[in-house]
Structure 1
Amino acid sequence: MTVEVQRDERGGFVVLRDGHPQSYVDLDDPQLLVFDYVQHLALALDTLPPGRLAVTHVGGAGLTLPRWVEHTRPGSPQIVLEPDEELTALVRRELPLPRRHRIRVRPVDGLSGLSELRDDSADVVVIDAFDAGRVPADLTGTDMAQQVHRALRTSGLLLVNLADEPGLRHAARVVATVRTALPHVALIGATEVVKGRRFGNVVLVAGQQPLDAAELSRRVARSDFPTTFWGSARTARWAAGSAPFPGVGEFSPPPPDPGAWRRR
């Protein structure tokens, strides 16, 4: 396993693990979100009321989204579950966090870390974790969904970054899995991914209460690249024939050549 930080021509930094891009960080502009799926995570977070949020991130890498939360909602208490201590040490050294932040990194895997959270302690749980470019199996099954349900406040959101092949069959099963614990589930993704034109990422948005579909739709419409939003009813119809992953789920499909990553 190798981890590295590469500077690009624009002055930002790409964090790679085993050749797979994990994060893009601009130390001078924490609001610059280069990967489209990180923008989707952020726009979902922006639908929540103003002020501090208690956020648990499963997967750390360059800590791009925690930096964004700290910049847009200063003082937010954030927990990052990142088992790769070598990666965390590299990021802390090469890409230092802002002063007076409240970001705490715990060196544990996602499911173990979720099980240690207090009941009703999180406003948001963000799952954005990959192992060799694939979403780990234990973050796709009902064990994960039940732990998130327990830890989330009633008004809270679960956000999951999923990667899948055209057809999105794996993503559909994760939607069915999450709906066993959080009944309101929506999807956001680059239009060409949702339409099955290429391998890529979709973001699952879920909660115990109905989602603010109107606000999510408005924010998606303002995206600077073609983006599709499916509300809860549309997403439920789409995933209706898919079986939930029991217990520990399944790894997402392997990605294409890691050199073919996209950024914006």
Structure 2
Amino acid sequence: MGPHGNRRAPVHAAIDFGMAELRPDPARPRGWTVLVDDVPQSYVDLADPEYMHFPYAQELGRVVRLSRARRVLHLGGGGLTIPRLIAHLRPGTEQLVVDRDAALLTLVERFLPFDDSIRVEIEDARAAVEKAEQYDLIVVDVFVGAAMPASVSSTGFAGAARRALRPDGLLVANLTDVPPLAHTRIQMATIRTAFDDPMLLGPSAVLRGRRAGNVILLAGNVPMIKLGKHERMIRTAELAEFIGGAKPRLDEPA
């Protein structure tokens, strides 16, 4: 019997934090989009873990390919696109995926099964990073709808992530924003409280504030990345100019 992912009818299910849909891609026989409350969260091709459908996933995939990480923490699960890629590229890599939505992960595991080497835990992302330690790579892809929650976008989170990484470790975060990129400017001011020389990678049009989209935050031991024709990287003095007067986001009072 083939895996559940061969079923081509859409799958709808109530999850712990909304309504999920697994939507088959008519263009790819084993491709699926994972949506929560009608917002696309991730894309999975069960036949080709290296296929990254969304542009932000392509950026994350490029960074992962350049990283030599053997111990990886993923904050945010979705369809486990990046964990699947790492398991395919570097079998034996120790990976932990943390997500607060148990029902979503159960749904994904049932219909879009993933490698047994990928461990999943049901926990709040902030709580998980506070107790984590000695990771080579931390991938942050945590959203409530289309917004990143404050718990993983504050100075407290930045400090916890720095402590959870090895000295030569790398933090990678998916950010989404609209012009004039106010959220991204605050995020870069925030991450600079814990990391030296963080960077932004993304489409030139997005980073120049011409359209909405996703960009990738990089901090720590950032690998050399060859930019494409329509890509841009912001760092050092240019980053300070980009941040301008934006202030770091502090943790909310307990």
TM-score range, shorter chain: 0.7 to 0.9
Report whether the alignment pairs 1:131 with 2:149: no
Pick the aligned partner of 1:94 from 105, 111, 132: 111
Pairing of 1:161-176 with structure 2 (within 5 A): 161-176=174-189
Indicate if the aligned counterparts of 2:131 and 2:164 stay in contact, CA closer than 8 A.
no
The 3-state SS of whatever aligns with 2:52 is: coil
Indicate if the aligned counterparts of 1:55 and 1:77 stay in contact, CA closer than 8 A.
yes
Pick the aligned partner of 1:53 from 70, 89, 97: 70
Q: Which residue of 1 aligns with 2:34?
A: 15
Letter paired with 2:54: F
CA distance in 1, matches of 2:178, 2:230: 19
Indicate if the aligned counterparts of 1:185 and 1:236 stay in contact, CA closer than 8 A.
no
Instruction: Give how far 1:247 is off.
Output: 1.6
Pairing of 1:138-157 with structure 2 (within 5 A): 138-157=151-170
Letter paired with 1:42: G
Indicate if the aligned counterparts of 1:36 and 1:190 stay in contact, CA closer than 8 A.
no
Instruction: Give how far 1:108 is off.
Output: 0.7
The 3-state SS of whatever aligns with 1:46 is: helix
CA distance in 1, matches of 2:24, 2:110: 14
The 3-state SS of whatever aligns with 2:97 is: strand
RMSD: 1.6
C-alpha change, 1:157 and 1:126, in structure 2 (3 Å) is same
Taking structure 1 as the reference length, the TM-score comes to 0.84
Instruction: Give how far 1:240 is off.
Output: 4.1
Q: Which residue of 1 aligns with 2:89?
A: 72
Q: Which residue of 2 aligns with 1:112?
A: 127
Indicate if the aligned counterparts of 1:123 and 1:155 stay in contact, CA closer than 8 A.
yes
CA distance in 1, matches of 2:182, 2:214: 13
Letter paired with 2:86: V
Unaligned stretches of 5+ residues in structure 2: 1-17
Report whether the alignment pairs 1:235 with 2:239: yes
Instruction: Give how far 1:166 is off.
Output: 0.8
CA distance in 2, matches of 1:4, 1:19: 8
CA distance in 2, matches of 1:111, 1:53: 22
Q: Which residue of 2 aligns with 1:244?
A: 248
Taking structure 2 as the reference length, the TM-score comes to 0.87
For the pair shown, the structure with the greater C-alpha radius of gyration is: 2
Instruction: Give how far 1:45 is off.
Output: 2.4
Higher relative contact order (CA 8 A, sep 6+): 1
Pick the aligned partner of 1:159 from 169, 172, 176: 172
Q: Which residue of 2 aligns with 1:258?
A: none
Indicate if the aligned counterparts of 2:56 and 2:216 stay in contact, CA closer than 8 A.
yes
Of stretches 52-61 and 22-31 in structure 1, the one that deviates more from structure 2 is 52-61
Letter paired with 2:103: E
Indicate if the aligned counterparts of 1:54 and 1:76 stay in contact, CA closer than 8 A.
yes
Unaligned stretches of 5+ residues in structure 1: 250-264
